[in-house]
């Protein structure tokens, strides 16, 4: 288990990471499509049933399954 990425972290700000995707402002992040979350992003690595897991973008930090950032990648 790793420490959680915080929205105030530089790398989170740079990618528009939100711990809760439902709070993403569509005007500020036009690529956001409701329904997209870390849990259904190709870069997410679930940690069992935990509410957070790994992300290939953020080495050493966990992200919230219900989060989102603008690097969201459609799964194969």
Which residues here bind ligand SF4, judged by CB under 6 A? Answer: 17, 38, 41, 43-44, 55, 57, 63, 67-69, 71-72
Nearest to 39 by CA among 65, 57, 62: 65
Q: Which is nearer to ligand SF4, 6 or 41 (CB)?
A: 41
To the nearest whole angstrom, how small is the minimum distance from the Cβ of residue 42 to ligand SF4?
A: 7
Nearest distance, CB of residue 62 and ligand SF4, angstroms: 10
Number of C-beta neighbours around residue 12 at 10 A: 19
* SS3 state at 52: strand
Of 27 and 55, CB closest to ligand SF4: 55
CB-CB neighbours of 55 under 10 Å: 22
User: In whole angstroms, how close is the CB of 36 to ligand SF4 at the nearest point?
Assistant: 7
Pairing assessment for the beta strands 52-55 and 61-64 based on DSSP bridges: antiparallel
């Amino acid at each position: 288990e790793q420490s959680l990425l915080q929205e105030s972290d530089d790398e989170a700000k740079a990618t528009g990471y939100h711990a809760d995707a439902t709070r993403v402002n569509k005007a500020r992040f036009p690529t956001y499509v409701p329904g997209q979350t870390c849990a259904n992003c190709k870069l997410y690595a679930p940690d069992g049933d935990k509410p957070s897991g790994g992300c290939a973008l953020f080495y050493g930090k966990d992200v919230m399954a219900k989060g989102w950032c603008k690097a969201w990648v459609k799964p194969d």
